[in-house]
Amino acid sequence: MAKVNLSFEEMWQRIISCDRNYDGCFYTAVKTTKIYCRPSCKSRKPKKENVQFYKTKTEAENAGFRACKRCKPDIELAPQEELVSEVISFLTCNYKEVITLESLSLHIGVSPFHLERVFKHVTSESPRTFLEKVRVEKAIHLLKNTDNTNLEISLKTGFKSTSTFYKAFKNSLHTSPSEYRKQWRSSQI
C-alpha cells in the first residue's frame, strides 16, 4: 500500500470532507466507539480528541477496533473500482514523486493503456489530471498554513517547475497562487 505523508490535521480535514480519494491511504478509528472507517465514511463525525489514525486495516484491528458497518472498510471492491482505488491511493499518497503513466502502470501491475482507459471510465478524468488536482489541493493547504514561497510550494507539491505549478493552479482556481493567498488571508481578518 502507498505510504502516508499526511499530518494529523490534514487527515482530519480529509475525514471531515469525506474525501474518498484518501480511501486506502489511512483509516480513522474512534476510541469511544471502537470502530474504524474509511476517510470517505458518511457517518456522523466524531470529536477530534477521540480520533486515531492507522495506516492499515490490520493495524486498526490489532488495536482493538472493528470495521464500520456503513463504509465497510474491510470489504474489497469490484475489480475496476479496486484498480481505480489503488491508483487514487497511490497518487494521493505519493504526489511529491515524479510519476509517469508507465511507472504508475508498473506499480499497479497493468498496461498503461488499460490503466488509463479504466481510470477514465470510472472517474471521467486521466490519472495525470487527477494527480494535478491532488497537487493543487496540497498547494492550497500550504498557501493557507505556511509562509513558504511559491517556489518552495511548487517543489513540495511535486510540480517539476514553477511555470507548471502556476498553470495548474490558474487552470484549477482561475487565480494565481499569490492572489489566492492574499484573498484567503484578507478573508481571515
Average pLDDT for 89-116: 93
Q: How far apart are the first and last CA of the chain?
A: 41
Query: Could you give the CA distance from residue 11 to residue 17 in angstroms, rounded to a whole number?
Result: 10
Domains of the chain: 8-67 (3.40.10.10), 76-189 (1.10.10.60)
pLDDT on residue 162? 92
Residue 17 near residue 49 (C-beta atoms within 8 A): no
Please state whether the predicted TM-score (pTM) of the whole model is above 0.85: no
Q: Of 18, 25, 37, 93, which is the active-site residue?
A: 37
52: enclosing H helix or E strand: strand 51-54
Tell me whether residue 37 is one of the annotated catalytic residues.
yes
- Smallest Cα–Cα separation from 85: which of 39, 54, 52? 39
Per-residue pLDDT tens digits for 142-170: 999 999 999 999 999 999 899 999 999 99
